[in-house]
Amino acid sequence: MSALVKAHLDHRRSWCHFDYCYPVISRRSRGVSLGVNLNPDKVCNFHCVYCEVDQAAPIRRRDVDLDQLEQEMASLLDLVASGELFETFPFSSALPEHRRLNDIAFSGEGEPTTSKAFTACVERLAALKRARGLDEVKLVLITNATRLQDPEVVKGIDLLMANGGEIWAKLDAGLEAPYRTFNRSAVPFDRILENLAFAAARWPLYIQTLFQEWEGQGPSEEELAAYVERIEALRASGKLLGLQVYTVARPTPESASRPLGAAALNALGESLRQRLPGLPIDLFHGPAA
């Protein structure tokens, strides 16, 4: 197993005694991502079949203390700046080119935009980033796209985008049936599509999609064609920057959810590139790749 695989497979949302902030080596960031968990209570409006959140682990707290959160992020920024972070495992196993701070990411144990603290937290961390001269460090919102038209969320995202922001929005299916099977949400599929269209017209964004083997089968041709149609509509409506296509990389709560093999994911990626010419598409393989 390579050094990068060792590092990027460890995505535990915990660090020492911290309650909200944690470091990871991110495959998609290709460097260090400092995570922000605004959902320490693990409440989420998606219940994905591949979710890696350990629901059996005890909940440490249910509130968001913004002063503590900011202090935790400041401490992590110090560890990265001094290099001390890379003296501890798994960060000591990271390749030299990945020992750089890429982003501060809102990506916790639930959907970050459901937190009442979301906008205030963006404001705090944007100010912290400015105070440290970290203009090149992105603020990334990783979202399931369920609340992208909520006025308070829009306010927070506008602030995020004004401070080097990026949106990575989830779309795991092109049809309602697989959406309900894989994401298991009470939020209507049509609302997800409407929210994504709204976001693509207002802000630059990436679409994140997890393709998996479900009950022994990969995505059908019907599902793939519908997905391409959804992506084409988003590209036509606004500022779609590209796709982040990946598969299961860590243990799942549902045994029917398995990673696509490297060959299958490569073939799927090539098919998407042919059907969506000119759109940047990055592939991220599972643990065996």
Answer whether 166's CB lies under 8 Å from 208's CB.
no
The string of pLDDT tens digits covering residues 65-124 is 999 999 999 999 999 999 999 998 888 888 888 889 999 999 989 999 999 999 999 999
Higher pLDDT, 146 or 92: 146
pLDDT at position 26: 77
In the chain the domains, ranked by start, together with CATH numbers, are 3-284 (3.20.20.70)
Inter-residue contact 31 to 101 (CB < 8 Å): yes
- pLDDT of res. 287: 56
Is residue 14 very low, low, confident or very high in pLDDT (cuts 50, 70, 90)? low
Is the pLDDT reported for residue 15 higher than 90? no
The secondary structure of 42-84 as a DSSP string is ---S---TT----TTSPP--SS--HHHHHHHHHHHHHHHHHTG
DSSP state of 217: B
Q: How far is CA 178 from CA 44, 159, 174, 229, in A?
A: 19, 33, 8, 15
User: Of the candidates 162, 172, 49, 40, which has an alpha carbon nearest to the alpha carbon of residue 109?
Assistant: 40
Residue 55 has pLDDT above 90, yes or no: no
Averaged pLDDT for residues 42-71: 91
SS3 237: helix
Burial label for 249, CB within 10 Å (0-12, 13-18, 19+), is buried
Comparison of pLDDT for 208 and 94, the residue scoring more:
208
CB 64 within 8 A of CB 125: no
Residue 3 has pLDDT above 60, yes or no: no
Which segment of 10-14, 41-45, 221-225 scores lowest on mean pLDDT?
10-14
Given this model, what pLDDT does residue 110 score?
95
For 134, half-sphere exposure in the C-beta direction (CA atoms, 13 angstrom radius) is: 21
Residue 206 sits at φ, ψ, to 5 deg, of: -105, 150
Residue 8: is its pLDDT beyond 60? no
**pLDDT value of residue 6:** 44
pLDDT tens for each residue of 155-196: 999 999 999 999 999 999 999 999 999 999 999 999 999 999
pLDDT at 59: 84
Backbone angles phi, psi at 4, to 5 degrees: -65, -40
pLDDT tens by residue, 218-268: 999 999 999 999 999 999 988 999 999 999 988 899 999 999 999 999 999
Q: Strands 281-284 and 165-170: what pairing?
A: unpaired
For the chain, give percent helix, strand, coil, nearest 5.
40, 20, 40
| Angstrom distance (rounded) from CA 136 to CA 164 | 7
pTM score of the predicted model: 0.91
The span from the CA of 258 to the CA of 147, in Å, is 28
139 bridge partner residues: 104, 165
